[in-house]
Amino acid sequence: MTPLLSVEGLTIDLPGRQPGLVEDVTFQVREGHCTALIGESGCGKTLTSMAILGLLPAAVRVSAGAVWFDGVDLLACTPRQLRRIRGGPVGMVFQEPMSSLNPTMTVGDQIAEARRLHLGERRKTALARARELLERVGIPNAARRIGSYPHEMSGGMQQRVMIAAAIACEPKLIIADEPTTALDVTIQAEILALLRDLQRDLDLAVLLVTHDLGVVADFCDDVVVMYAGHIAERTTVDGLFYQPGHPYSSALLAAVPQVGQARSRLTVIPGRVPSAGGFPAGCRFEPRCAHAEPPCREPQPDAPLGDGLTRCGRVASGELTLQGALRG
């Protein structure tokens, strides 16, 4: 299947200060499928997702690679061309809705704005469609709420408004960056169920940035595991949970509390993600890895593993087999 989104060799630098914030990142998102970007904070997930739509901070630059969406190289687009894509064929759901929604505009006008800009609809027509979208994402009394301002809504309702705005122009792809971070557990479940229903009903492709492996297991098809600015493993969801292909993936799985298993202490990964500029010369996970050997101090190239790849030479050679969360 031809991928809808293809990220090829993406490298992001802070010119003059720090090269390689993200280095040689390659993955795909297939039509109608969900791909997860996972890893600890500071691994480069959000930078990668922002780079796709040209939303990086002003001082940060893409220095290499290509990002193809539906046959168009997004990195070669002008700012005007990108504005036609953002909010149109590609929708974005940010992790902090209160920071992303405009406090001076009603939520109805913010949803309608996308249809007015991309589809050329009149305000009355666009607002009518915005009301339908609010109903679609589960906001009660949408006819009244369309005139509300973001601060008059709860965090869960604000995130529903963000999702309504993201799907306003019937996109092919949604990029969701930690869409449930600021929400309580019950509301998180409702938002994820909503995204899952929308993906199925609208045949959306989704790139989901998340820390939550439960969400990955329930919602995603493919997984990209990022660590210290590059890809440690690229696999399917079954591959990740049944037989992970990198010690970092296995360590992430081990750190998730398991229902029915009494533990006096939770499993943790020792140390922390190295900052850019302090990456080890060899495997970037080697200083924290329970399976590290002297050869791991040498650079680890990508190696094929099943339907994906790994950046662990010991796993690729068959010397090391890792325990998954759903084995034994």
**pLDDT by residue (tens digit) across 34-67?**
999 999 999 999 999 999 999 999 889 999 999 9
- Condensed to tens digits (0 to 9), the pLDDT of residues 248-284 reads 999 999 988 776 666 667 888 999 999 888 899 899 9
pLDDT at position 327, please? 46
pLDDT score of 328 more than 70: no
HSE toward the beta carbon, residue 61, CA cutoff 13 A: 9
| pLDDT single digits (tens) 197-221 | 999 899 999 999 998 898 899 889 9
**What is d(CA 228, CA 308) in angstroms, rounded to the nearest whole number?**
19
Local structure of 190: helix, strand or coil? helix
Residue that is written with structure tokens 């190289």 in the block: 73
Mean pLDDT of the chain: 91
Residue 236: burial class (beta carbons within 10 Å; 0-12, 13-18, 19+):
middle
pLDDT band of residue 32 (cuts 50, 70, 90) is very high
CB atoms within 10 A of CB 301: 9
Can you list the domains of the chain with their CATH numbers? 5-220 (3.40.50.300), 225-257+265-316 (no CATH)
Q: Is 72 helix (H, G, I), strand (E, B) or coil?
A: strand
DSSP assignments along 25-47, one per residue: EEEEE-TT-EEEEE-STTSSHHH
Q: Cα–Cα distances in Å, from 28 out to 2, 66, 239, 283?
A: 9, 12, 16, 23
Is pLDDT larger for residue 276 or for residue 304?
304
> What value does the mean pLDDT take over residues 63-83?
94
CA distance 47 to 64: 14
Q: pTM for this one? A: 0.93
Strands 34-38 and 205-209 turn out to be: parallel
Amino acid at 217: A
Give residue 266's pLDDT. Answer: 80
| Helix (H), strand (E) at residue 174 | strand 173-177
Residue 237 has a pLDDT of 95
Question: What pLDDT is attached to residue 18?
Answer: 81
pLDDT of residue 100: 87
Residue type, 189: A
What is the predicted pLDDT for the residue at 326? 60
Beta-carbon count within 10 A of 139 CB: 21
